């Protein structure tokens, strides 16, 4: 891989698995010094050992805590003296009807998905402005068109999209790059760790993971988007079609989404499907 990020410093939240882990690998191969942030110290240490040929810093971070995000940025600057890329990737999903879900589940998703992005960006922003760097928010197709049984997830991703869009406009003329990055269905553990109505993890995926885009492919697309300084990246044919169609035929897309989600194994929508 070409050393397109040589000399750059990249922070990746949610780096212990899935998209975050593959971003760490790809960015390191591209020459970046990578800062790995997640809650799992053991997984971060294993990844740090794997990437030992390039500069790596691991910081155990719960992005729902403002103080953790502040420390993450401080330790990055202390070690490397700069920040060029911030990838706000840490995230949680859910799977439950709003009428059934405990409101604490929605709060947890907002704390991780939305506030985690806000906290990290707030403290990294002065350094990113100095480097004319990139803020990346890993959002979702659910941030463009609400997904049934995913109210908390969709709400948090809509909030991320609005935050990033506004941030981009505020810094339109000072060199800051802000990218909204929506992967679509990606093979990862996000569905395994998704919260159910009572806040417990569902523990298994309801979808065929091997048929989805790989996390490695997603990471490569993200790298290309950063290099080209794109505003928005939407991946997968289904994702692109959903975002496009939702602008002109929202009711039709809602029906298709309902049908798709209702056909998942043990779907909360299964008993309500309209034929």
Q: Report the alpha-carbon distance of residue 148 to residue 261 in Å, rounded.
A: 7
Question: For 165, how many CA atoms within 13 A lie in the half-sphere containing its CB?
Answer: 11
Can you say whether the dihedral through the CA atoms of 172, 72, 59, 183 is positive or negative? negative
Name residue, tokens 């910081």.
59
Burial of 163 (0-12, 13-18, 19+ CB in 10 A): buried
Q: Report the alpha-carbon distance of residue 51 to residue 30 in Å, rounded.
A: 12
Secondary structure of residue 234 in the 3-state scheme = strand
DSSP string, 81-144: S---EEEE-----B-B-TTTS-HHHHHHHIIIIIIHHHHHHHHHHHHHHHHT-EEEEE--GGGT
153 is a catalytic site residue: yes
Q: Report the alpha-carbon distance of residue 90 to residue 62 in Å, rounded.
A: 9
* Residue of 119, 123, 153, 158 with catalytic role: 153
* Catalytic annotation, residues: 153
């Amino acid at each position: 891989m070409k050393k397109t990020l040589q000399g750059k410093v990249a922070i990746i939240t949610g780096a212990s698995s899935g998209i975050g882990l593959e971003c760490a690998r790809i960015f390191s191969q591209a020459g970046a010094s990578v800062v790995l942030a997640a809650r799992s110290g053991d997984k971060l240490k294993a990844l740090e050992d794997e990437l030992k040929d390039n500069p790596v810093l691991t910081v155990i971070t719960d992005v729902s805590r403002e103080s953790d995000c502040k420390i993450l940025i401080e330790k990055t600057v202390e070690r490397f003296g700069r920040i060029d890329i911030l990838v706000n990737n840490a995230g949680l999903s859910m799977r439950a009807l709003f009428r059934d879900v405990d409101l604490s589940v929605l709060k947890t998703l907002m704390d991780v998905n939305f506030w985690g992005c806000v906290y990290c960006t707030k403290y990294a922003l002065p350094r990113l402005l100095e480097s004319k760097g990139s803020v990346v928010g890993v959002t979702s197709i659910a941030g463009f068109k609400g997904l049934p049984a995913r109210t908390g997830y969709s709400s948090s991703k809509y909030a991320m999209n609005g935050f990033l869009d506004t941030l981009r406009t505020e810094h339109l003329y000072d060199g800051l790059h802000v990218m909204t990055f929506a992967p679509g269905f990606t093979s990862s553990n996000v569905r395994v760790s998704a919260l159910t109505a009572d806040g417990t993890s569902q523990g298994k995926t309801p979808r065929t993971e091997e048929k989805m885009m790989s996390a490695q492919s997603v990471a490569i697309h993200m790298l290309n988007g950063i290099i080209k300084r794109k505003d928005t990246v939407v991946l997968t044919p289904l994702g692109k079609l959903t975002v496009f169609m939702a602008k002109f035929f929202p009711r039709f897309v809602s029906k298709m989404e309902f049908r798709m989600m209702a056909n998942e194994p043990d779907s909360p929508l299964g008993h309500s499907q309209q034929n």
